Amino acid sequence: MKRGLMLLRPSFQATSFGAILSALVLVGTPCAAGTFAFVTNQNSSDLSVLDLDKRTELKRIDVPGKPAGIHVSPLLDSFYTVSPDNMTVRRFSLSSCKVQAEAVMPGGPTGVVLAQTTGQLFVSDWYNSRVFVLDAETLNWVGELETGAAPAGLAVAGDDEFLVSADRDADQVSVFSLPDLKLLHRIDVGTRPFGVAAGPDGFVHVANVGSDDVYVVDPARGVVIAIIAVGARPYGIGFAAGQAFTTDQYADTVTVYTLSDYRKIDTVDVGEYPEGIAGDPDGKMVVSTNWFSNSISLIDPISHDVLAEVPTGDGPRAFGQFLYSTVGDVQPCHVQ
């Protein structure tokens, strides 16, 4: 097999997707009505839908198989979950929170990310050094990408130009071009990279749980831009207000560093064993999920104060993109 890819068929219905994009251009973008978090709770095998403005849980959705991976796509009115225990990937409707499609993937499905403009959904397979390529609408299998050992986190960078996988046991990231999925680079990073996120600086940030640092890499050139020392066992990375926020699992903290010069500027105490983290689309807060505390922490990105802690289900992970800001009067799960 050719190294890097076996692609069997087109990955999305171009006509329907183009219609969605055209409609968005015609109607414009209304003001946001609210911000919500879709938090996978691994121990209780469910998902908490949280209203971050009201700081309450709106709905609890059953997601069998101990879900961890999550990706929310308002453009496709969908959110995707990955349950490693029963090896199931699911697509839910944002509007109804009902399952629209599901697929059982062999091996150890872990992370998930979507390339919206191509309709390609990617799921990492922890046990078999590969990334599955799925149709984002049907979840039909399209192809596979060869990675280094134990791929975990995934990120789509640029204008849907690059897919990056964190290959934990290979101490590297793999970079593929989109939409043609050609292998571009293998980049050496720190020890045991796990979480990976595309930053507004145009680079990809890689959290290395074994070396307690973050590597910033350029996916286009395949080079390391910066290395930042953070807290113990960094897991996830989010962005807001020109800064990056990294969850430090063993320290129960979030490390803050600048995107202008990659300098560590603060440490924020949050709940116990923080994991998933993201900045909300409006830039008004950063949200960390606290696995052992069964909560999320809301952080002010300017003052770095913790504004609130909101309860979730048991074992919140939210490994991926889990925040969503509504537009107009639209809210998830038909909640008014």
SS (H, E, C) 27-85: HCCCCEEEEEEEEEECCCCEEEEEECCCCEEEEEEECCCCCCEEEEECCCCEEEEEECC
* Structural domain total, the chain: 1
15 within a domain of the structure (yes/no) = no
Any idea what the Cα angle at residue 110 is, between residues 106 and 115, rounded to 5°? Answer: 100
13 within a domain of the structure (yes/no) = no
238 within a domain of the structure (yes/no) = yes
User: Mean pLDDT across the stretch 128-145?
Assistant: 97
136 within a domain of the structure (yes/no) = yes
Cis before 179? omega within 30:
yes
Of 159, 176, 61, nearest to 117 by C-alpha is 159
Confidence of residue 272 (pLDDT cuts 50, 70, 90): very high
325 within a domain of the structure (yes/no) = yes
93 within a domain of the structure (yes/no) = yes
2 within a domain of the structure (yes/no) = no
Domain hosting 307: range is 33-334
Query: Mean pLDDT over all residues of the chain?
Result: 90
pTM of the model: 0.89
Domain of 225, CATH number, reads 2.130.10.10
Is the confidence at residue 7, as pLDDT, over 70? no
- Taking a C-beta distance cutoff of 8 angstroms, is the pair 170, 149 a contact? yes
Is the confidence at residue 17, as pLDDT, over 50? no
Phi and psi at 300, nearest 5°, equal -75, 120
pLDDT digits (tens, 9 = 90+) for 252-262: 999 999 999 99
Is the confidence at residue 222, as pLDDT, over 80? yes
18 within a domain of the structure (yes/no) = no
Positive or negative CA dihedral for 298, 299, 300, 301?
negative
User: Is pLDDT larger for residue 3 or for residue 236?
Assistant: 236
Q: What gap in Å lies between CA 84 and CA 198, rounded to an integer?
A: 24
Q: Enumerate the β-bridge partners of residue 268.
A: 254
Confidence of residue 327 (pLDDT cuts 50, 70, 90): low
